[in-house]
Structure 1
């Protein structure tokens, strides 16, 4: 992916990035997160609402671009079946939301894990 196309996609608004995320995840069948050297995943809190969330990306390139200011973060993939079976119930139990595809602007689509799962499954049925 060229730097220009990377910047163009990161420049989309939150809703456009959400749609892009759904399409890419269904194509590749994996979701990307950032983990530190101890394999702990990155968890953030929204400044406005104080909601804790797991940021997710559609590819390693976007996750790496987000974490490039940190020496300790690296992209890690989660297969879609693992995400559905393990991560969605775990995040729900822990009260964590999902921040879908943080980009260049300050908008972010934050959703409940079950809602993202439903959206992905709905898109899968149309795929």
Structure 2
């Protein structure tokens, strides 16, 4: 990925980064997260648990800082993400944090994320 694209995408608002995420993960059939001994998570002030997901390895690596400094980017196949991850997260009440940059993220329901992924996959 070219640094100019990375810089431009990181300046986008969370809703546009969400759309970018949907398009890229369906294009490349993989989702990226951060992993150390376990997958990276965060909590909001209400105690809701989030797992961050990224459209490309480079964005995950850039986010491996502060509390995630020891984490490494790891890919998840899109099929596993849809069939296993999202079902398990829904059961456990975990919210996907799509392409977070600091506290700026698209936190969407799993049902909306699934619908958006399935709609985009219909284009292939």
**Would the TM-score normalized by the shorter structure come out above 0.5?**
yes
TM-score, normalised by the number of residues in structure 1: 0.87
Residue 5 (structure 1) aligns with: 5
Residue 67 (structure 1) aligns with: 64
Once the two structures are superposed, what CA deviation does each residue of 1:66-99 show, in whole Å capped at 9, x if it has no partner? 0045542001111111111110111011110001
Matched length: 123
Secondary structure (helix, strand or coil) at the match of 1:87 reads helix
Residue 98 (structure 1) aligns with: 96
| Alignment partners' CA distance in 1, 2:51 and 2:101 | 14
TM-score, normalised by the number of residues in structure 2: 0.89
Q: Which runs of no fewer than 5 residues in structure 1 stay unpaired?
A: none
Query: Aligned to 2:76, which of 52, 75, 78?
Result: 78
Is contact 1:11-1:103 (8 Å) kept?
no
Q: Which runs of no fewer than 5 residues in structure 2 stay unpaired?
A: none
Secondary structure (helix, strand or coil) at the match of 1:101 reads strand
- List aligned pairs for 1:1-127, cutoff 5 A: 1-36=1-36, 38=37, 40-47=38-45, 49-69=46-66, 70-103=68-101, 106-127=103-124
Structure 1 window deviating more from structure 2 (72-81 vs 109-118): it is 109-118
Alignment RMSD (CA, Å): 1.6
